[in-house]
Structure 1
Amino acid sequence: MEGKKERKFTRYTALIVIMVIIFTAIAGRLFFLQILDGESYSEKANNKSIREIPEAAPRGKILDKNGSILASSNLIYILAYNQTDESDKHFFDTMSKVFDVLDKNGETQKDDFELKVNPYSFQFRGDDDKTKRMLEIKFKTDRGFADEIKNKLYKNKKDKLTEAEKAKVDEELLKITPEETFKKLVKQYKIDDKKYSVDEQRRFMIIKDTLKMNSFSGYKPAVVATNIKKETAFKFYQMLNEFPGIDVTTQPMRTYENGELASDVLGYISKIDSNDDKYTEKGYDASTDYVGKSGIEGTFEDRLKGSKGGKIVKLNKQGRILEELGKRDPYPGQTIQLTIDKDVQAATEKALDDRMKYLRANPAEQQGSYTANATRGAAVAIDVNTGAVVALASRPGFDPNAFAAPGGLSSDLYNTYYPDIAEAGKRYIENMGISGGSEEDTLNKLFPVDKSVKGKTVRQDAKDILPKPLFNYATQSRSMPGSTFKMMTAIAGLESGVITPDFGVDDEMYFDKGGGKAGRVYFTNDGPNGWVDLARAIEKSSNPYFMTVGKMLRNAYGDDILAKYAWKFGLGADPTSNSKKSTGLEIPEAFGQVFNSWSLKNTYSQTYLWTTMEKLKAGSDDRGNNFTSIDLYDRDGDSSKVKSIKSDIKKQIQSAIKDGDKAFNKDTYKSLINNLVQEDPQYKDKNVSDKEMKSIINAIYYVAVSDANSQIRAGFSMYDASIGQGINAFTPVQIANYIATIANGGTRYSVHLVDKFLDANGKLIEQVKPEVAEKTGVKQETLDAVKAGMNAVNEKGTAAEAFKGFTIPTAGKTGTATIANDQESFGRTDTAVYVGFAPSDKPQIAVCVMLYDGGHGSGAAYVARSMYESYFKVGSSNTSKTDTSAQN
């Protein structure tokens, strides 16, 4: 028998066996993955199945000095849409049902979408038209419109667009109307415009647009409705299976228990602006997070915001949470207790509103004033011994709740807080009965068009006419103090030794600024006061007396002696030093400046530069000379060389304004202007003759040297400053602190609003202590002499009527500040100012009240009385009482 062939186990056989085993294993694993555990792994393969859902931290509370809550966070029910591939398939059907349930239960869809319908319009939150324009450009760019325009205009351009090209794109973006924008988005979001009405289309658009904007920073649910009722939330809980993607949750919402009360102190929170990148760098989610925008909310955002929490969850294909994989609890922000007294704050705001209402209702009651536009006011009360702010009011105010809740800013509120300047201007012109040409001419004069902005008409409130609810008049408005500054002039005169308390002047209701009768300034509203010493001059608010003191100060020590003392009291600061330009207030503030030679030169150099540029652009001067128009305004198309030449010419003009003849060189101007004509294309084919060149240079000289510099060298600026006019301009906070410094004996404290910081459990983190900003070193007898005059003002002077029958002794001073020589021509009138302290024998608080377009300062004293009544808890007064006292 032949033997069997022996099978050999070769390497080839081994390889086949190994491959069979490997492919069998792979096939088995695929069967397991796709069949047995297919759904689980399908979800994991979908990057939308596992997500982090952020959980907002409750913002810290804000309390008044007595612990009353001014701002807190309360849990509310939220309806949200979780986007998945599956839920998107049913989006329109689902949302239609959701909207129906919301409507039937009296709920409102979250709506902070800036594009409105019926009529089509944009509602961007900008303090001025220019800001709104920028936000409109950003809105359209984020939604892809800019890319469409770039591809159309610069299709083959590979390099970055130039500034001019970007400006052209922006101009084209602004041409897209709100209606065209809406229709573009309807198409982009695939909304059936045949099936749904315009209102329904917009409701879908809000959700779709939220999802698109959220996608820029990763997945986030779109909030459909906020602050829904508990009953409504439970209905949705019961119906969740009918609504793929819909979920009900809770989150904290900022609440301001007292509405408008102290709104300008508290500020408000709002969604992060789409063009603000600084918060993204700090870890905020720009698509959903809210941040403090102003006031305490803005300044102490880092303390109030708390630590955000969140949870990692697994969603099923309907967008429902299957499993919570991890969680981080949020931690509340710190509590801030303020120095504000809620009751005094409320009394102050009411007194301002009542007084302004009375002034508007009786516009012609005061001699020489027409108060129909008394729509704005501010008042501040400060503890004279600590610098703590007891009340800080700005009117009109606003309701911060409107910004804290998504969609809380109704169209009516939007139009109030962000008015269309053109429409508001037309109403103002009509209501005030302002004439002088056509309505369009008057509108262009009072609310001029910013011609540098292309693609959209942008107007400016050039005369500061319209009330601005979101502007803090107490901290941001720098205004002339009027006669309330006279105590400062008295202090400078007494301390420098140019006068004594017994120094007197025969007040014949005029003052000679120089040059004989032509230089006389008459104060006909005050009447002659006869012989007045210091105390009586304060009581009667004698302009001739204090202008005389100003003249004596100037003759003895020069133009800056008044500022030297005013700076000690916080009325400005040395502009050439590194001294702190602030009252110490924690929230943003402007900082006004007293008259001084450095500031005067710089103010004039800017103001008269504009005047010179206008004359040159017009091609004529005030003396009838005509010449080739010279344009020194910056233009988008200017080359770097043209920009440089224009800048050099403007610097030469400013130097001449400041320093006069010694800084004026005709040859330099001739050379620079010739260079400009050669380099700037707008002068192509134009020649400037020698005669024209001479006229151009003379026009510059006439404005810069003959007019501006001669005024700088004259004494009238000092005389005007001595009575609180001219370039003197301070905020109500500055003025209140100046009075507090007088009241407490000469120590100026840093003004502060915060008393302490607490943790979420109420445990003290930090106590804010009073801080001395400066000890003025002013002699007690000087302050006593000034206080004697202030006592007389309230006892028998210009504020006596307001304080008649008041049981607490008070001291004060009224002021009437003219804003412009031609103010009546555009409906404005004097600012009414009152300052004071109480009790006069042992001061506790100092106050400053300003009523813009309020007329005589004596009327503002009624507001101060109401503030005292609330603080000292005595009596009650009528702030709308008829004003029968003297002007100042």
Structure 2
Amino acid sequence: MKGDKKREFTRYTALIVIMCLIFTAITSQLFVLQVVKGEGYKEQANNKSIKEIPDTAPRGNILDRNGAVLAKSEQSYVLVYNQTDESDKTFFDTMDKVFKILDENGETKQDDFELKIDPYSFVFRSDDPQTQRMLEIRFKKDRGLDEEILKKLSKDKKNKLTKEEQDKIVDEELLKITPEETFKKLIKQYKIDDKKYSLEEQRRFMIVKDTLKMQSFSGYKPVVVASNIKKDTAFKFMQMLNELPGIDVTTQPIRTYPNGELGSAFLGYISKITSNQDKYEEKGYDVSSDYVGTAGIESVFEDRLKGSKGGRIVKLNKNGRIIEELGRRDPYPGQTVQLTIDKEVQAAAEKALDDKMAELRANPYSQYRSNTANATRGAAVAVDVNTGAILALVSKPGYDPNLFTVPGRLSTDLSKQFFTPDLEKFGREYIQQRGLMSYYPGKTEDEVLNILFPIDKSIKGNTTIRQDAYDIYAKSSFNYATQSRIPPGSTFKPLTAIAGLETGVITPDYTMYDNGTFDKGGGHITTFALDGANGWVNLTKAIEKSSNPYFMTVAKFLRGAFGDDVLAKYAWKFGLGVPPNSNVKPSTGIEIPEAFGQVYNSVSAKNDYSSMYLWKIMSMLKDGKSDRGDKFTAIDLYDNDKDSSKVKEIKSSLKNSIKDSIKEGSSAFNKDNYSKLIKDLIAADPKYSGSNISQKEIDTIINSIYYVAVSDANSQLRAGFHMYDAAIGQGMDQFTPLQMVNYIATLANGGTRYKLHLVDKFLDANGKVIEEVKPEVIEKTGVKSENLEAVKAGMAAVNEKGTAAGAFSNFPIKTAGKTGTASLTNPESIGRTDFAEYVGYAPLDNPQIAVYVVIFDGGQGATSAYIARDIYSAYFHVNSQNNTQNNDQNQSTQNNNGQ
């Protein structure tokens, strides 16, 4: 019995002992976990986080044809801020210290924030007012400024607006919020102490806080505080990391352009994503921070250049600093784009154009009949005549793409100069400097300002944004080489000669007496004061002397034998326009965006005149007074948002009838139809309610329309002066520098028009060729070789003893060319003068390179020939400087006969 009790006691005791041991172990472990290692685990639980940090891929290089680097990516020190609960507690003190260190070391802080101060303003990277408006609305919506407006609309019980109507109201209300009001709202939103910190300091804090907010929509990413900082500055921050919670130093590839402004016309630049954000999001971009190509090659080949992003899985400590890397996906560089551009030729072209424009501005009255004080814009293009490869492409003024790669480099003043220039301030200074008030007797400076730089009425409610109506302001962001459509002046005359020879209306020996005048018909005799009389001229002499009467006579022969479109037929073969209503793409083939000009032809003339005179008639009808002084009830044909669908339909029918009358004349003018449409408009549009317009008054309106549309517009369309002017590169002829250089290259190589191209090949990151661009023929013109040779003989004479002889005197290589002086209508009243143009090729007997040069407000065309000479010198490695003094002495002679 006792034994049983002993066994029972032993089992119980053993159980108790085991339980005690277990509880002791648990208690000990809890003690270790909670007390001994508690702080460590607490830190891990609360202050360590695992994040994926994206790594930007280096953009691919852009090279010239010989392998010289035009754009590349370099690893650079970058200062970043990592947001954590801990770093947020000391944000303002930390960033205050950071900004002071950056200032002391002369570093540029990250700043692509569109909201500026001193003065308060928005500066968006677009020179299009409508795009600026859209970007401003998006900026405010992204920061929640529309929420208050939406709340007010939702509280309005009477609100029965459609979503479209509501969105329109929200947008209009957002635009009413001034930049200063926006700034103050964001100061409040980001809890920035506007009493403690200066305005500049407030904005610095705002930039970081705003970036944190914008990046929060796309996951975790450190905020870049300063890019491309110096090595010494980076090491200084590394030594102070413990004092700066959230701050870290890392490296990132930064886009650099080692040649500065060189090649900006085709390279473009990269910038933060502002438009088409949805498109980029779909492609995997972080629209809050990623940079993309915004113009030129950088933009067009973004998909090839961008590379593939990498990423790191890391552990961050409580201060947001990386303490351990758990995994990595390496970024892969973008492809290299090798261009057809020759860096040395490009540099020579840019320098020559800059130097010549500076010379013209410094000596504005050195040429007869010209004031070149505003010679601030120009373009030059050089191509390989046998491939269409572009060797140089220049637009002036240019810009340094490096300004855009590191946010903060582009100052507020530069941003405004590029994208939102103060045209009112510029316009007033321009009017005063050029003495333009004398051309507007009785008008105030404000009235003249509104003529030259009118308020942009296309923007609803706009009272400040002005337009450069006469292309006066020099725009760095505009590509004059690819986008400007310019009258070619006398550089078009070789084409007129080709048309005349090919059709047989002239031969190379056709000779006429040039007395310095030409009868356009209808009693309109034009006198060419700049040229004077050239006496007896055949084709060679006519090209050499740039005889306007000769080539206008050729046009008269052409028109009489073949009609108004025969000149255009040959121009189209050389890429100077395309047939209207055809399926021919209006393009030279170049990879970057381009405009495209058109030669005079009857279809385009009708379309242009119908649009131009329709506006004139609409203005007349709204004024209620005809050109002949007849008065009537005002009729409004302008579009109005409040118009009913029926009113819109009647207005459209009336406008189409007017256009048809302008194009086709009396045969398309139906008085009964006009009468019915006007009566229908009066009945349908409430604004005429009670007007009681009689049939007699309606007849007066119809007669007034007839006088402008048929008697004036259509009769002008049927006149011969359009073709006569076109034959000498004036009137409706307008082409881009790209079109002009392609035309002259086609002439030089014997009549084969190539597709122009900038890209030679694409290479991978290891330099292996992925794709090579081959020359592509667009058209073989079929022009007889003997006719081309006859024209070339005249162009050779231009450079040897004609209007460009001053530039090419003693030049060691024989060349051919044609100068051009393209005039504007009444240029003096707008402070402008002629376009100075030149086309040419070299060598004479075996053409390799063709060029086109233009200087806006450059005066006579011979001026531009000097730039062509320097381009040839670089291409053929000829030192023309020895001849410069002798050539420049001859220029004054050519300035008086530089067409």
- Within 2, Cα distance between the matches of 1:887 and 1:155? 72
User: 1:795 pairs with 779, 800, 810, which one?
Assistant: 800
SS at match of 1:883: helix
Matched, 1:423 2:425: yes
Deviations 1:22-80 (A, max 9, x none): xxxx9999999999998899899889933221111111111111111110000111111
- Distance apart, 1:736 and its partner CA: 0.8
CA distance in 1, matches of 2:678, 2:574: 47
Call closer, same or farther: CA 1:85–1:552 in 2, change over 3 Å.
same
Q: Which secondary structure state, in structure 2, belongs to the residue aligned with residue 473 of structure 1?
A: coil
Aligned ranges for residues 207-606 of structure 1 at < 5 Å?
A: 207-274=208-275, 276-418=277-419, 419-435=421-437, 436=440, 437-457=443-463, 458-515=465-522, 518-606=523-611
Map of 2:85 onto structure 1: 85
Match of 2:821 among 812, 816, 819: 816
What is the match of residue 853 of structure 2?
849
**Worse-superposed segment, 764-773 or 311-320:** 311-320
Aligned-CA RMSD value: 2.5
Deviation at 1:161, TM superposition (A): 5.0
Residue 892 of structure 2 aligns to a residue whose secondary structure is coil
Contact 2:382 2:852 in 1 (8 A): yes
Alpha-carbon spacing, 1:108–1:670, altered in 2? closer, same or farther (3 Å):
same
2:703 pairs with 1:698: yes
Q: Which residue of 2 is the match for residue 8 of structure 1?
A: none
Determine the structure 2 residue equivalent to 1:201: 202
Matched letter for residue 639 of structure 1: S
- Give the equivalent residue in structure 1 for 2:8: none
Range 112-121 or range 225-234, more displaced: 112-121
- Residue 75 (structure 2) aligns with: 75
Please say if residues 175 and 456 of structure 1, whose CA atoms lie closer than 8 Å, have aligned partners that are also in contact.
Answer: no
Looking at structure 2, the residues matched to 724 and 560 of structure 1 have their Cα atoms a distance apart, in angstroms, of: 15
Taking structure 1 as reference, are residues 196 and 397 closer, same or farther at Cα in structure 2, changes over 3 Å only? same
Judge conservation of contact 1:174–1:455 (CA < 8 Å) in 2.
no
Contact 1:128 1:460 (C-alpha < 8 Å) held by counterparts: no
Partners in 1 of 2:37 and 2:694 — Cα distance? 92
Pick which of 623-632 and 286-295 moved more.
623-632
What are the equivalent positions in structure 2 for 1:36-185 lying under 5 Å apart? 49-152=49-152, 155-156=155-156, 161=162, 166-185=167-186
> Are positions 1:640 and 2:645 aligned together?
yes
**Contact (CA 8 Å) 1:138, 1:275: kept in 2 or not?**
no
Q: 2-side partners of 1:539 and 1:380: how far apart?
A: 23
Q: Is the 8 A contact 1:570 1:734 kept in 2?
A: yes
- The superposition leaves residues 794-846 of structure 1 with CA deviations (integer Å, 9 ceiling, x where unpaired) of 11111111211211111111111112x22211112111111111111211111
Distance 1:313 1:638, change over 3 A: farther
Range with bigger deviation, 537-546 or 366-375: 366-375
Secondary structure at 1:277's aligned position in 2?
helix
Name the CA distance, whole Å, in 2 between partners of 1:383 and 1:542.
29
| Cα deviation code 1:133-180 (max 9, x no counterpart) | 332232222222233234335633676656565444434333322222
Structure 1 residues 652, 166: CA separation in 2 closer, same or farther (over 3 Å shift)? farther
SS at match of 1:729: coil
Q: Secondary structure at the match of 1:191?
A: coil
Percent identity between matched residues is: 67
Task: Determine if contact 1:171/1:455 at 8 Å carries over to the other structure.
Answer: no
Q: Quote the Cα distance in structure 2 between the aligned partners of 1:440 and 1:215.
A: 48
Residue 11 of structure 2 aligns with which residue?
A: none
Q: Which amino acid aligns with 1:380?
A: V
Q: Which amino acid aligns with 1:661?
A: S
Q: Is contact 2:806-2:888 (8 Å) kept? A: no
- After superposition, residues 769-788 of structure 1 pair within 5 angstroms as 769-788=774-793
Is the 8 Å Cα contact of residues 418 and 476 (structure 2) preserved in structure 1? Answer: yes
Check conservation: 1:354, 1:880, Cα contact below 8 A.
Answer: no
In 2, the alpha carbon distance for the partners of 1:677 and 1:162 equals 33
Contact 1:172 1:455 (8 Å CA) reproduced: no
Greater shift after overlay, 423-432 or 151-160? 151-160
Deviates more, 1:677-686 or 1:361-370: 677-686
Helix, strand or coil: the match of 2:312?
A: strand
8 Å CA contact 2:804–2:898 kept in 1: the answer is no
CA distance in 2, matches of 1:680, 1:53: 62
Distance 2:161 2:332 in 1: 45
Judged with a 3 Å threshold, the aligned counterparts in structure 2 of structure 1 residues 274 and 839 are, in CA distance, closer, same or farther, namely closer
Q: Does 1:869 align with 2:873?
A: yes
CA contact (8 A) 1:859 1:883 kept: no
Distance 1:616 1:31, change over 3 A: farther
Distance in 2 between residues matched to 1:427 and 1:803, nearest whole Å:
38
Q: Which range is displaced more, 130-139 or 768-777?
A: 130-139
Aligned counterparts of 2:35 and 2:665: Cα–Cα separation in 1: 93
With over 3 angstroms needed to count, the CA separation of the structure-2 counterparts of 1:705 and 1:30, relative to structure 1, is farther
Match of 1:6 in 2: none
Shift of 1:781: 0.5
In structure 1, stretches of 5+ residues that fail to align are 1-25
Match for residue 616 of structure 2?
611
Distance, in Å, in 1 between the alignment partners of 2:245 and 2:795 is: 73
Query: Shift in Å at residue 720 of structure 1?
Result: 1.0
Partner of 1:15: none
1: CA distance, partners of 2:330 / 2:378 = 45
User: What TM-score do the two structures reach when normalised by structure 1?
Assistant: 0.93
Instruction: Letter of the 2:244 partner, please give it.
Output: F
Tell me the residue number matched to 2:893: 884
